[in-house]
Amino acid sequence: MSNILIIKHGSLGDIAQASGAIQDICENHKNDDVFLLTTKPYFDLFKKNPFLKDVILDKRLPRYNVIYLYFLMRELKKYNFSKVYDLQNSSRTFFYKRILFPKATKEIWSSTETTLPEGTTKKDFDNDSVLSRFDHQLKSSGINTNHTLKPDFSWSISDITQIKNHYELDKYIVLFPFCSPHLTSKKWPYYNELINMINEKSKNEIKIVIAPGPDEIKESSKINALCILDNGKALDISQLSGLIEDSLFVVANDTGPAHIAAHLGSKGIALFGSHTTPFKVSIERENFKAIQVQELSKLSAEKVFERMSVII
């Protein structure tokens, strides 16, 4: 029996996307113990993943904090990992490789760098879809990929019966109108107009809800929908998954909750401007689709409502 390490720091959408790859790695190492290195926002979440032996915390302090790096590397070396699967593929994890396995090939350290197709630059490779890149990386590392292209995030769900009873939720649609303050190009501005259309069509028999993150609660007052909280606090990721899984439909900007919905098999739509493409982020699934326009400000509520009606 050997110890195996997976590295996945975030973000939320990336965590949902990587679920299939993580499952495939674990199923291909059934006789080994598989650990995962992640950051604080996802530490407790990954503790619920049934395929992992345990989770290791990386505080991701600045690299010039040599004391922190020394103790983190010392901690990792204690496990005597025989193989590392770098699913983050960042400059930081490349830095970790240089410390832990400086001369390792894909047989020891699986990453974009060590499995890059011959004759392909990393820039060109990164133009492929996220899941296709994972699939190539793992296949090149000897992993049979049965789930990588079909991530299943259902392991993340927690029971939210108490919250649903508190808000009297039965038939409901979830909207995610928020985005990071520095990514305003992802933000569609017509959620309230869409809410009016849904209410008129359903004769107010379907509740429209939002589930803001900790930094979005104040902004949620601008949306004419029921704000779902847990005793005044934002839902955690597992509660959010439960809310999405039980919903009739999801409409979201290109953010983490959209990727959760896609990989829970939920019905829904993600709204894209020109910042990236649905193909590149692997968000379209059987029940979850995308609308892409050059400028989100020019995507009408009527167009989104029409697309909803077709899918529902």
131 & 165 share domain: no
Rounded CA-CA distance 211/283 in Å is: 20
Residue 28 in this model has a pLDDT that exceeds 90: yes
Confidence band of 77 (pLDDT split at 50, 70, 90): very high
Pair (57, 173) in one structural domain:
no
Question: In which band, very low, low, confident or very high, does the pLDDT at 120 lie, cut at 50, 70 and 90?
Answer: confident
pLDDT, tens digit (0-9, with 9 covering 90-100), for 172-198: 999 999 988 777 889 999 999 999 999
Spell out the residues 6+ positions from residue 67 whose beta carbon is closer than 8 angstroms to its own: none
Structural domain of 182: 160-311
Q: Domain count of the chain?
A: 2
Based on the fold, state whether residues 211 and 142 are members of the same structural domain. Answer: no
* 60 and 138 co-located in one domain: yes
pLDDT at 124: 84
Tell me the average pLDDT across 10-14. Answer: 93
Same domain (yes/no): 223, 296: yes
Same domain, 249 and 299: yes
- Token output for 105: 């090939």
Say what the pTM is.
0.94
What's the CA gap between 213 and 239, in Å, rounded? 12
Which CATH number belongs to the domain containing residue 60 in this structure? 3.40.50.2000
- What letter represents residue 268's amino acid? G
